[in-house]
Amino acid sequence: MLLQHLRELIEFGFVQKRTFDGYPLKVEYYLTEDMGQGAIEALRIYQQMGIRFMKENGMEEILKEKGLV
């Protein structure tokens, strides 16, 4: 299942795969500069929106417990 998800992420341009010769086989997956890093930035924006919502609605204690504020 993981490999299927990785293939889809590669297909959509979020992830690239690097394979190294030798034994044991070594493969690295990494985020692409445009789509992959862009997705991370979008997630940061969503996180900040969620944090702001929680602060405005009296849930700051939960954020403190998780070390987010």
For 9-66, the pLDDT digits (tens) are 999 999 999 999 999 999 999 999 999 999 999 999 999 999 999 999 999 999 999 9
Confidence bin at 68 (pLDDT 50/70/90): confident
Confidence bin at 1 (pLDDT 50/70/90): very high
User: Which is higher by pLDDT, 13 or 69?
Assistant: 13
With helix as H, strand as E and coil as C, how does the chain read? Answer: CHHHHHHHHHHCCCEEEEEECCCCCEEEEEECCCHHHHHHHHHHHHHHHHHHHHHHCCCHHHHHHCCCC
Inter-residue contact 50 to 60 (CB < 8 Å): no
**Residue-level pLDDT at 57:** 97
